[in-house]
Amino acid sequence: MEYLFGSMLGALVVIVYGIAVGTVLRRLLGDQPGRLRAFLVAIASLALLSESAVPVLTAVGLTPSASSGAGTLLVSSLVLGLLFVGSLVVALGVLVVWELVVPTGRLPGPLEAAVGVRDGARRALRYLELSWVVASSGLWRRLRLGPSDPAFSAAVVRTLERSGPTFVKVGQILSTRVQNLPPALTAALARLQSAAEPAPSVDVEALLRDEWGEAPSTRLASFDPVPFAAASIAQVHAATLHDGTRVVVKVQRPGAAPRVRVDADILVRFATDAERRWNWARGMGLRAIATGLRGSLLEELDYRIEARNTQALARALADRPLIATPRIVPELSGERVLVMTRLDGGPVATAADALPTADRERLARELAGAVLTGVLVQGVFHADLHPGNVLVLDDGRIGLLDFGAIGVIDAETRALLGTLLLAVLQDDTVGAVTALEMAFEVGADTDRAAMRRELGRLVTLSRYSPDPVGTLVGELFAFLTRFGIVVPGDVAGAFRTVVALLGVLRALAPELDQDSFVRGALPDLVTRAVDPARLAERVVTRSSLALALADRVPGRLERVSAQLADGSFAVRTRTFADQRDRDFVRAVVDDVASAVFATILFVGAVWLGTTPGGPELATGLALYPLLGAMAAIGAFALAFRLVIRLFRYRRDR
């Protein structure tokens, strides 16, 4: 061993051996292991081979020397070959175990590892803190039964309140998602408050200097260091530009980003574990909800997204003079700072009381028309609409705030969604189910008749509800979930926005008949979604495509007729025309053959190993046990290969 690694030539041989054998090992395991780990295992197998060769040969009386006969050399070579193959099988086993424990790609690079250790330490400390909060808040005892436990909702709220600002924000977001959660839980979450202590002004000014590259006083004529609003992730300050424009400066709280990322990661991990443990979590789709929440929280850390969203909604609402949105100051806005013009007014829940009834209804109709038009006609809408984000301005207009999340729906889905809502409101269950099948992914085994009956029952019951439209929209989303219909994220956001709109309308104009208004507005909106002018444009496009296809028809007909005339026309069909189907069948046959051969070799190895006799090749070394060892090596090699392929198949699925 020392001689082998003691020279440059030996080192070169070792490297070449490691590369060659590592490549063979990877090919045997379907190229699943990484090159580096295959190389390291190959080097280890060489060390094992070099250390075991001489003792094994000595034990069976086969120590080669210059005086050894040809027979001894042949048997020694056979034993060495067997040891070599055995070392490869051991290497295969090590690689299989390594892949099962730590699959290739899971181990990060040095920089990623350092960051991972830091984040892991933060997460571990946060885990300890949150574990104590969950236990002391009484939530742990309620998790087994979940929402069916009467005390579950109160325990969730207590836990979120004690877990810090990020989880309070999570609760507030969840309170608007009435379609995903039980009513008792959403009602309890709606009482959460996100007020937080302001960050020190010194830290805020340092963050502004870091973002702008200079002191805030050079960019702003005035800046109030005391925020007029402070929440979990951001706080908002009043300021004035040098041209006299009054603006607000939304600043990310210093240190908020790392904390939010850790908390969001913990949230998804908890949801994943909850789905493994409890049926109620699986039925609710808790992991999908948590993953969506993590995405929303991480997006809120980048104010450039909110700036783009604000500008997009401003353009969509440009023809609505009664609705105002802030104007972004792009040269002062960035990832952690957002500067926009100030809207002077009060929250809709309190400021609307000062307006005459006629003005309130006019604003309510304008807001409802704008939101429904955005959902069904324009395809861009405010996805976080709630009374806190709607102002009644001092000049009598409606002001919209907080565009951190917007929804985007394509034209075809918009038209089908509008048709679905219109059909449901008109009690046309056949049309509604047809629109459902065209808009969403409905399983082939779904009972369409049961869908129509259930939908008709929901429509009938909603008519006698105190809030017919709100009840119907909320129940419609639950109906889709019950029948296993996959609803795209933005479409689910549209449902949430419509429900939230009804809540805003109740605060703005409680005397407005929402049911009559929505029923009256939908036909016009659906008509606009399938505007004749747009249909004419599509007709031109489709006609152009049809003409191009028609130009190719004569040539194809001529070729077919010529083949029919000379008798060369033939129809070829293949059972597995798709390459993926052929690959799948080939893989199945390969795996079955490997399993059969491994079984045969293993049975043969047991039989040969337990059968006495056979020619004696050396002292204590008979032919049958040697053949049995070779068969066992082959059986284990095939078994290891099959195991790694099966785990790879499960991972790919």
Provide the H-helix boundaries in 164-285: 165-175, 183-189, 201-212, 216-219, 256-277, 279-284
Rounded CA separation 154/138 (Å): 9
pLDDT at 649: 61
AA letter at 224:
D
Does any domain span residue 248?
no
Helix (H, G, I), strand (E, B) or coil at 213: coil
600 belongs to a structural domain: yes
Q: Check residue 442 and give its pLDDT.
A: 73
Q: Model pTM?
A: 0.63
Say how far apart CA 303 and CA 162 lie, in whole Å. 27
538 & 618 share domain: no
Together in a domain, 429 and 538: no
Residue 618 β-bridge partners: 621
Local structure of residue 433 (DSSP, 8 states)? H
Number of structural domains in the chain = 4
Q: Is residue 490 part of a domain?
A: yes
392-395 own/partner pairs: CB under 8 Å, 24+ apart: 392/345, 392/346, 392/347, 392/348, 392/351, 392/352, 392/354, 392/355, 392/363, 392/508, 393/324, 393/343, 393/344, 393/345, 394/344, 394/345
- The DSSP call for residue 353 is G
Task: Return phi, psi of residue 617, to 5°.
Answer: -80, -30
The segments of the chain whose pLDDT lies below 70 read 1-10, 28-32, 49, 52-82, 86, 100, 102-120, 176-181, 183, 191-196, 529-539, 571-579, 581, 605, 608-626, 633, 640-641, 643-653
Give yes or no: residues 440 and 545 share one domain.
Answer: no
pLDDT at position 6, please? 52
Considering the domain architecture, whether residues 384 and 506 belong to the same structural domain is answered as yes
Residue-wise pLDDT for 57-104, tens only, equals: 565 555 555 445 555 566 666 666 667 776 777 777 777 777 767 666
What was the pLDDT predicted at 27?
75
CB atoms within 10 A of CB 579: 8
Q: How far apart are CA 63 and CA 521, in angstroms?
A: 97
For residue 619, is it within any domain? yes
Buried/exposed 318-357: b ≥16 CB within 10 Å, e otherwise? eebebbbbbbbbeebbbebbbbbebbebeebeebbeebee
Question: From CA 420, how far away is CA 418, in angstroms rounded?
Answer: 5
Residue where a domain stops, chosen among 297, 317, 351: 297
pLDDT of residue 340: 93
Do residue 501 and residue 363 come from a single domain? yes
Any idea which residue has 């191009």 for tokens? 548
Amino acid at 100: L
From 516, 549, 571, the end of a domain falls on 571
In a domain, 642, yes or no: yes
User: Do 407 and 481 reside in the same domain of the chain?
Assistant: yes
In a domain, 522, yes or no: yes
In a domain, 265, yes or no: yes
Q: Are residues 563 and 492 in the same domain?
A: no
Same domain, 123 and 182: yes
Residue of 497, 527, 529 lying closest to 377 (CA atoms): 529
Residue that has been written with the tokens 């929901």 in this structure: 458
Residue carrying structure tokens 């249909």: 535
Q: What pLDDT score was predicted for residue 67? A: 47
Q: Which of 70, 451, 492 is CA-nearest to residue 288?
A: 492
Cβ atoms 287, 275 nearer than 8 A: yes
Q: How far apart are alpha carbons 282 and 147 in whole angstroms? A: 12
* Shared-domain flag, residues 447 and 376: yes
For residues 541 and 544, what is the distance between their CA atoms, to the nearest angstrom? 5
Q: What is the predicted pLDDT for the residue at 341?
A: 92
Q: Is 475:425 a contact under the CB 8 Å cutoff?
A: no
Residue 555 belongs to domain spanning? 533-571
In a domain, 247, yes or no: no
Residue 84 structure tokens = 């070599």
Please check whether residue 159 is in contact with residue 152, taking contact to mean a CB–CB distance below 8 angstroms. no
In the numeric block, the tokens 């001894």 are attached to 72
Boundary of a domain, candidates 520, 545, 571 = 571
Q: H helices of 278-428, where?
A: 279-284, 286-299, 303-316, 348-351, 357-373, 411-425
Handedness of CA 575, 580, 582, 587 (dihedral sign): negative
Q: Do 537 and 499 share a structural domain?
A: no
Q: Provide the β-strand partners of residue 230.
A: 235
pLDDT of residue 176: 64
Give the DSSP H or E segment for 252. Answer: strand 246-252
* 411 and 465 housed in the same domain: yes
What integer pLDDT is reported at residue 328 of this predicted model? 93
Is 205 in contact with 337 (CB distance < 8 Å)? no
**441 and 357 within one domain:** yes
User: Using N-to-C axis directions, what is the helix angle for 8-28 and 35-59, rounded to 10°?
Assistant: 110
- The three-class DSSP label of residue 68 is coil
DSSP 441: B
- What is the token pair recorded at 432? 């509604």
Query: What 3-state class would DSSP assign to 340?
Result: strand
Instruction: Say which residue the tokens 């929280």 belong to.
Output: 297
**Structure-token match 């175990």, residue found:** 97
